[in-house]
């Protein structure tokens, strides 16, 4: 009962936030409403008992990436007069909805016709940090390490590049 | 759910919510008295209720009253009023919620059930803290941006850039810590630190990660926007930075948020590096085993400590010039009576425990209470370090601050990860 209520709450927030991202005119409003979507997605992950993904969603997407985007929006200091005039955006919106609606209907049919859609597939320790870690380090070790080295190299590269440019001046 | 479950939920949530808020008062008081101590002056000591000044704590009440009754202005040029109001709330709430996963006592076992002593009983631990700390940037960015003035904007930009760049060394310092502890749960980390190194040194994070603790503390100072990293509100150049347009209650919430964040990060530093709730050499199992001798020791130590505290109050709480019927002496008498009253109450409780309840579940509760006191004492010491640093070090220049973060702390924390992992692999 509580889970159902939370599920409905999070989905409503997620969809409203995504709609707000498209509909709001000011980029800051769009970014904040997208933030609502990201947080509600984290809530949905938590309901699916994926604890680690919940934390990562909050930390990486809602915390880090969105704060960068908002930081950039703030840096550019966009005023009302800088925004493009969008005439007839509602016409495009309605047209878009009419085009997308059949695809949506089709997708919902597909999902409903999946075999065993109502079965519970979580096993003991599903989505726990330890289990995900074991899986990563047993089955996906090489790929995991390559990605982590890639990230490290990009981090160090960014620092080196930013440093050399200052010296060249 | 039994009654016991419900009571414990209430206790834990209340602890997680009210203790940080109470510590706002304590840390503001400590900041002012600490500042005056370091600058060799008295600090706030005049505000009183019926002559009782509580060592300057009453000044906080006066300040609170002042802030509550100030006019709460939203300047006319602000277009996005919603974000302007939301910003301080985000800062304060994220700071409060980030404390929710810090364990303030070891797992309490009552009637065969285990209770994690955190406001939110989850083992996400440090991941939760990092996620929530990431959110506090939004408050600062929104405040700076919606203030729509140059000072506010510059302060917000500075604070956001600083918080984002210091998050990296902080997370890297935590990674090397995770290699040592092998867990993300803060409670398990604290339990790990209850062990003994070579059989006689408490295995605290500060000993296992001497470089990590320095990096983490520096990063935590920068995250909390405290001196020497408070460029975001540098008075000499930015007036007050991102909260320059705020007044009245909204400023109060910013102010409280800053101190709650300071408390939460002290609590995290204590839990990660200084043994959390562990009393050195007495981990939970030892304490429960020797509950009766420990209680007896407490019953002897508290009156002795109270005697010294009473003597200290008697010596210091006097007027510095000749006065007839010195009201401060009268005040001191009452304080000393309160101290002795508390001691008598404590002795009575401990005596009742020894006579009626020792050996059962009361042992566990006693140990939990002791650990809560230890945890709060350690956190208070860490808060004092914040005050101490604030009034000792001058402010950085902004390029120096970014250079310190990227060119010094980042390579050091990477080095720390490599060295730590090499040692852990070699030892296992």
pLDDT above 80: residue A104: yes
B160 touches chain A (CB under 8 A): yes
pLDDT at site A118: 65
Q: What is the mean pLDDT of residues A111-133?
A: 74
The whole-model pTM stands at 0.87
Q: Using an 8 Å CB-CB cutoff, list chain A residues near B164.
A: 64, 67-68, 71
Select the residue of B131, B135, B407 nearest A163 (Cβ to Cβ). Answer: B407
Neighboring chain B residues of A64 at a CB cutoff of 8 Å: 134, 164, 167
Of the candidates B124, B141, B164, the beta carbon closest to that of A74 is on B141
Tell me if chain B has a CB within 8 Å of the CB of A152.
yes
Which pLDDT value is given to residue A167?
53
Alpha carbon distances (Å) from B204 to B169, B235, B274, B346:
21, 38, 6, 30
What is the model's pLDDT at position B341?
93
On whether any CB of chain B is under 8 Å from the CB of A63, the answer is yes
Establish if A48 touches chain B: CB-CB under 8 angstroms. no
Q: Are B225 and B390 in contact (CB under 8 A)?
A: no
Residue A25's pLDDT is what?
80
- Pairwise CB contact (< 8 Å): A67 & B414: no
What part of B 373-392 touches A (C-beta under 8 Å)?
A: none
In sequence order, what are the residues at sequence separation of 6 or more whose Cβ sits closer than 8 angstroms to the Cβ of residue B399? none
Residues from chain B contacting residue A52 (CB–CB below 8 Å): 127
Instruction: Report the alpha-carbon distance of residue B143 to residue B157 in Å, rounded.
Output: 10
Q: How far apart are CA A99 and CA B288, in angstroms?
A: 69
pLDDT interval class at B379 (50, 70, 90): very high
pLDDT score, position A40: 92
Which ranges of A48-88 would DSSP assign to H, the alpha helix?
51-56, 66-76
State how far residue B196 is from chain A, nearest Cα, in angstroms.
26
Q: At what angle do helices B81-98 and B126-147 cross, to 10 degrees?
A: 160
Of A55, A73, A152, the CB nearest to B128: A55
Predicted confidence band of residue B281 (pLDDT cuts 50, 70, 90): confident
- Range B380-397 average pLDDT: 88
Q: Do B134 and A28 touch (CB under 8 A)?
A: no
Of A59, A70, A159, the CB nearest to B130: A59
At CA B255, angle to CA A34 and CA B36, rounded to 5? 150
CB contact under 8 A, B131 and A55: yes
CB atoms within 10 A of CB B321: 6
Quick: pLDDT tens for B38-82: 888 888 888 888 778 877 888 888 888 888 888 888 888 888 888
pLDDT at B256 over 80: yes
Beta-carbon contacts of B143 under 8 Å, excluding residues fewer than 6 positions away, are: B84, B87, B88, B91, B152, B156, B242, B243, B246, B254
| Smallest CA–CA distance from B126 into chain A, residue | A55
Is A103 exposed, middle or buried, given 0-12, 13-18 or 19+ CB atoms closer than 10 A? exposed
pLDDT: which is higher, A64 or B382:
B382
Looking at CA atoms only, how far is residue B98 from chain A in angstroms?
Answer: 13
Rounded Cα distance, B137 and B132, in Å: 10
Say whether pLDDT at B365 is over 80: yes
Rg (CA), chain B: 23
Buried b (16+ CB within 10 A) or exposed e, B93-113: bbbbbbbbbbbbbbbbbeeee
pLDDT digits (tens, 9 = 90+) for A1-60: 788 888 899 999 999 999 888 888 888 888 889 999 999 999 888 888 888 888 888 888
At A150, is the pLDDT very low, low, confident or very high (cuts 50, 70, 90)?
very high
**Nearest CA among A118, A135, A132 for reference residue A49:** A132
What three-state secondary structure class fits B280? coil
Query: Is A53 within 8 Å of A62 (Cβ atoms)?
Result: no
Average pLDDT of span A101-125? 77
Q: Which helix (H) or strand (E) holds B60?
A: helix B57-69
What was the pLDDT predicted at A13?
92
% of chain B beyond a pLDDT of 90: 8
In the prediction, which pLDDT does A37 show?
A: 92
- Estimate to the nearest angstrom the gap between the alpha carbon of A16 and the chain centroid: 14
Average pLDDT over residues A93-99: 86
The string over B128-146, giving b where at least 16 C-beta atoms fall within 10 Å of a residue's C-beta and e elsewhere, is bbbbbbbbbbbbbbbbbbb
DSSP H or E segment with residue B417: helix B410-427
Q: Where is pLDDT greater, at B197 or B145?
A: B145
**Does residue B80 belong to the interface with chain A, where contact is any CB pair within 8 Å?**
yes
Query: Quick check: A164 pLDDT over 70?
Result: no
* Relative orientation angle of helices A66-76 and A27-47, to the nearest 10 degrees: 170
CA B419, distance to chain mean position in Å, is 30
Looking at residue B143, its pLDDT comes to 87
Verify whether the Cβ–Cβ distance B160 to A159 is below 8 Å: no
Report whether pLDDT(A166) > 60: no
Report pLDDT for B206: 84
pLDDT band at residue A119 using 50, 70 and 90 as cut-offs: low
| pLDDT score at A12 | 93
- Inter-chain CB proximity B141 and A67 less than 8 Å: yes
The answer to whether residue A169 scores a pLDDT higher than 60 is no
- Yes or no: say if B215 and B221 are a contact pair by the CB < 8 Å rule: no
Q: Looking at B201-356, list the stretches that DSSP marks H as alpha helix, in order from N- to C-terminal side.
A: 205-208, 210-223, 235-238, 248-273, 284-289, 291-316, 327-352
Question: Shortest CA distance to B254 belongs to which of B268, B266, B242?
Answer: B242
Instruction: Say whether pLDDT at A117 is over 80.
Output: no
What is the C-alpha to C-alpha distance for residues A73 and B160, in angstroms, rounded to an integer?
Answer: 12
Residue B205 has pLDDT above 60, yes or no: yes
Q: Smallest CA–CA separation between A87 and chain B, in Å?
A: 23
- Of B122, B124, B157, which has the smallest distance from its Cβ to A75's Cβ? B157
Higher pLDDT, A166 or A111: A111
CB of A28 within 8 Å of a chain B CB? The answer is yes
What does the alpha-carbon distance between residue B185 and residue B180 come to, in Å, rounded to a whole number? 13
Which candidate from B131, B141, B406 shows the least CB-CB separation from A58? B131
Non-local (6+) Cβ contacts of A61 within 8 A are A38, A41, A42
């Amino acid at each position: 009962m509580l889970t159902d209520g939370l599920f409905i709450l999070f989905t409503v927030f997620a969809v409203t936030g995504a709609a707000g991202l498209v509909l709001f005119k000011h980029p800051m409003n769009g970014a904040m409403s997208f933030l609502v979507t990201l947080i509600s997605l984290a809530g949905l992950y938590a309901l699916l008992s994926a604890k680690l993904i919940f934390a990562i969603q909050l930390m990486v997407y809602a915390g880090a990436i969105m704060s960068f985007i908002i930081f950039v929006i703030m840096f550019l200091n966009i005023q009302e007069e800088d925004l493009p005039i969008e005439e007839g955006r509602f016409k495009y919106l309605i047209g878009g909805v009419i085009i997308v609606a059949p695809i949506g209907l089709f997708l919902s049919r597909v999902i409903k016709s999946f075999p065993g859609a109502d079965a519970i597939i979580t096993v003991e320790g599903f989505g726990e940090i330890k289990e995900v870690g074991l899986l990563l380090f047993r089955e996906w070790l090489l790929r995991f390490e390559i990605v982590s080295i890639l990230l490290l190299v990009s981090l160090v590269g960014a620092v080196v590049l930013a440093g050399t440019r200052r010296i060249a001046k | 759910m039994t009654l016991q479950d419900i009571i414990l939920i209430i206790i834990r949530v209340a602890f997680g919510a009210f203790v940080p808020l109470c510590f706002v008062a304590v840390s503001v008081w400590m900041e002012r008295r600490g500042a005056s101590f370091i600058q060799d002056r008295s600090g706030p000591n005049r505000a009183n209720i019926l002559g009782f000044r509580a060592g300057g704590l009453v000044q906080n009440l006066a300040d609170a009253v002042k802030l509550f009754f100030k006019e709460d202005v939203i300047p006319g040029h602000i277009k996005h009023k919603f974000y302007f109001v939301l910003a301080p709330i985000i800062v304060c709430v994220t700071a409060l919620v980030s404390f929710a996963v810090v364990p303030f006592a070891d797992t309490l076992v009552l009637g065969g059930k285990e209770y994690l002593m955190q406001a939110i009983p989850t083992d996400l631990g440090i991941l939760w803290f990092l996620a929530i700390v990431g959110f506090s940037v939004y408050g600062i960015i929104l405040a700076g941006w919606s203030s729509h003035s140059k000072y506010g904007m510059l302060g917000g930009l500075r604070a956001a850039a600083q918080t984002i760049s210091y998050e990296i060394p902080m997370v890297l310092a935590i990674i090397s810590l995770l290699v040592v502890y092998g867990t993300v749960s803060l409670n398990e980390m604290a339990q790990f630190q209850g062990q003994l190194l070579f059989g006689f040194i408490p295995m605290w994070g500060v000993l296992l990660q001497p470089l990590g603790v320095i990096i983490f503390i520096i990063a935590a100072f920068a995250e909390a926007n405290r001196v020497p990293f408070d460029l975001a509100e540098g008075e000499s150049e930015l007036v007050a930075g991102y909260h320059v347009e705020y007044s009245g209650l909204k400023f109060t919430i910013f102010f409280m948020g800053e101190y709650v964040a300071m408390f939460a990060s002290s609590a995290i530093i204590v839990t990660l590096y200084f043994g959390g709730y562990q009393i050195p050499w007495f981990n939970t199992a030892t304490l429960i085993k020797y509950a009766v001798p420990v209680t007896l020791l407490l019953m002897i130590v508290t009156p002795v400590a109270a005697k010294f505290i009473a003597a200290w109050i008697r010596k210091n709480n006097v007027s510095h010039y000749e006065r007839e019927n010195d009201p401060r002496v009268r005040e001191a008498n009452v304080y000393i009576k309160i101290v002795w009253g508390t001691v008598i109450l404590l002795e009575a409780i401990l005596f009742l425990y020894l006579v009626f309840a020792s050996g059962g579940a009361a042992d566990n509760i006693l140990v939990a209470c002791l650990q809560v006191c230890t945890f709060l004492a350690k956190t208070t010491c860490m808060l004092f370090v914040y005050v101490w640093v604030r009034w000792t070090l001058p402010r950085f220049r902004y390029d120096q601050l970014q250079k310190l973060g990227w060119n010094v702390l980042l390579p050091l924390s990477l080095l720390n990860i490599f060295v730590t992992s090499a040692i852990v692999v070699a030892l296992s």
